[in-house]
């Protein structure tokens, strides 16, 4: 055997797991994909988001809260180990409401989440309250109010990914870049994969390859039902600080750029469209008209990795003990939980019973019935 664990996927999910495994003293080798792979970790918006998350899935809601609370400690240690700067803030987050109906719908989502037993940490704020929270801007006439959750925050997702990669190396792990694989071969006592200069064997394999995950796990009988959804994002030039709170679809980075997102499209390529740029810019300027004077410098698209019910999947194979797979939409929000909770469980060899709501077995209706 060449190492304790092979992690397939060096995006933010695979890297957070590999970092967590390395922290537990396991020797890890991480295999990254090809340059032109989909790479959701390099396209995402950078929110660490609690409000509304898992509003119909209590376990997901609880895990999200737990991860959001773990984040400051997780980042502190990650910054020290990787000796990297990662811009992060947790001032709470907003969802702007541009009509009475949006306000009522948002209120209903919060009530539903709280009725599940979640702590009441999200509140509706009126336009007048919002104006006090955002003294540097004039709100557009359509803004009725917002929903505010004090647990929400944001991070520079590219700095996060780079820091995870550095921390893995600092803890003795290895990342093989541009090393896509097409299959995992079970062998006596573990698994074998092909790498550029030969093969690699380990008793455990974790597949965290985003939308490429099912193609690697399903030949071994481990179902990972995923769908994709395209999101397009705009980013402006750097401007003086105007937005002290990140919002769903509108946040100002520590460097001053304003990110405007994101679309939800049932399209499986990463092209960008003028129609979406228009739609995103229109909504942003309905919230803050002065944004109309900021120059856009880039537009890009990524594909969200969505389990069919949008709740993360933490799966282990019963046919092939030692084979794990992880897929989720919220790789940034859940990074702290992946490092501090999921990775230690994988290091111990099995996922604990309290993660059962996240197993892939939930999709098998006949088996459940």
Partner 1 sequence: MFKSVHDKPGKASDMTVFVNGAETAAWNGETVASVLLRAPGAERRSTVSGEPRLPYCQMGVCFECLVIVDGVASTQGCLVPVAPGMRIESQHGPREISK
Residues near partner 1 (CB under 8 A) are 136-138, 237-240, 242, 255-256, 290-291, 293-295, 297
Element (H, E) at 81: helix 58-82
Contact 230, 265 (CB under 8 A): yes
Contact 228, 306 (CB under 8 A): yes
If the CB atoms of residues 34 and 136 are measured against partner 1, the closer one turns out to be 136
If the CB atoms of residues 255 and 353 are measured against partner 1, the closer one turns out to be 255
Residue 290 CB, shortest distance to partner 1, in Å, is: 5
- Chain centroid offset of residue 246 CA: 16
Query: With the C-alpha atoms ordered 243, 245, 251, 254, is the resulting torsion angle positive or negative?
Result: positive
Residue 242 CB, shortest distance to partner 1, in Å, is: 6
- CA gap 233, 154 in Å, rounded: 16
If the CB atoms of residues 293 and 366 are measured against partner 1, the closer one turns out to be 293
Contact 154, 165 (CB under 8 A): no
If the CB atoms of residues 249 and 331 are measured against partner 1, the closer one turns out to be 249
- CA gap 311, 314 in Å, rounded: 10
Residue 220 CB, shortest distance to partner 1, in Å, is: 46
Residue 134 CB, shortest distance to partner 1, in Å, is: 10
For 93-129, letters b (16+ CB in 10 Å) and e give bbbbbbeeebbeebbebbeebeeeebeebbebbeeee
For 2-23, letters b (16+ CB in 10 Å) and e give bbbbbbbbbbbbbbbbbbbbbb
If the CB atoms of residues 122 and 159 are measured against partner 1, the closer one turns out to be 159
If the CB atoms of residues 52 and 249 are measured against partner 1, the closer one turns out to be 249
Contact 39, 301 (CB under 8 A): no
Residue 89 CB, shortest distance to partner 1, in Å, is: 16
If the CB atoms of residues 113 and 253 are measured against partner 1, the closer one turns out to be 253
Element (H, E) at 193: strand 190-195
Residue 148 CB, shortest distance to partner 1, in Å, is: 21
If the CB atoms of residues 253 and 317 are measured against partner 1, the closer one turns out to be 253
Residue 307 DSSP SS3? strand
Residue 239 CB, shortest distance to partner 1, in Å, is: 5
Residue 292 CB, shortest distance to partner 1, in Å, is: 9
Which tokens go with 190?
């573990």
If the CB atoms of residues 68 and 252 are measured against partner 1, the closer one turns out to be 252
Read off φ and ψ for residue 324, nearest 5 degrees. -120, 155
CA neighbours within 13 Å on the CB side: how many for 38? 19
If the CB atoms of residues 252 and 333 are measured against partner 1, the closer one turns out to be 252
Query: With the C-alpha atoms ordered 193, 196, 198, 201, is the resulting torsion angle positive or negative?
Result: negative
Residue 336 CB, shortest distance to partner 1, in Å, is: 26
> What number of residues does the chain have?
369
Residue 255 CB, shortest distance to partner 1, in Å, is: 6
């Amino acid at each position: 055997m060449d190492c304790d664990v092979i992690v397939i996927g060096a995006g933010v999910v695979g890297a957070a797991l590999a970092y967590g495994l390395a922290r537990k003293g396991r020797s890890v080798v991480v295999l990254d994909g090809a340059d032109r792979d989909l790479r959701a970790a390099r396209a995402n918006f950078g929110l660490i988001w609690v409000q509304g998350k898992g509003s119909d899935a209590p376990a997901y809601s609880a895990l999200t809260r737990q991860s959001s609370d773990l984040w400051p400690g997780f980042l502190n240690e990650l910054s020290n180990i990787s000796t990297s700067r990662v811009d992060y803030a947790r001032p709470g987050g907003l969802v702007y409401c541009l009509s009475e109906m949006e306000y009522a719908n948002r209120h209903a989502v919060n009530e539903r989440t709280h009725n599940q037993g979640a702590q009441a940490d999200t509140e509706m704020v009126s336009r007048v309250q919002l104006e006090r929270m955002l003294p540097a801007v004039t709100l557009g006439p359509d803004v009725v109010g917002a929903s505010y959750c004090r647990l929400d925050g944001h991070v520079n997702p590219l700095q996060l990914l780079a820091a995870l990669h550095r921390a893995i190396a600092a803890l003795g792990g290895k990342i093989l870049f541009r090393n896509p694989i097409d299959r995992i071969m079970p062998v006596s006592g573990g698994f074998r994969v092909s790498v550029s200069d030969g093969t690699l064997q380990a008793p455990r394999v974790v597949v965290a390859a985003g939308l490429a995950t099912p193609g690697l796990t399903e030949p071994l009988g481990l179902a990972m039902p995923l769908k994709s959804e395209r999101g397009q994002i705009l980013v402006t030039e750097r401007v003086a600080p105007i937005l002290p709170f990140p919002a769903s679809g509108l946040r100002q980075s520590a460097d001053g750029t304003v990110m405007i997102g994101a679309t939800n499209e049932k399209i499986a390529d990463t092209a960008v469209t003028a129609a979406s740029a228009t739609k995103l810019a229109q909504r942003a300027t309905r919230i803050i008209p002065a944004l109309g004077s900021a120059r856009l410098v880039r537009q890009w698209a990524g594909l969200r990795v969505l389990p069919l019910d949008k709740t993360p999947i933490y799966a282990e194979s019963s046919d092939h003990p030692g084979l794990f797979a992880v897929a989720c939409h919220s790789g940034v929000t859940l990074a702290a939980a992946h490092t501090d909770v999921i990775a230690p469980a994988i290091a111990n060899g099995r996922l604990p019973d309290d993660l059962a709501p996240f197993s892939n077995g939930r999709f098998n209706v006949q088996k459940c019935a």
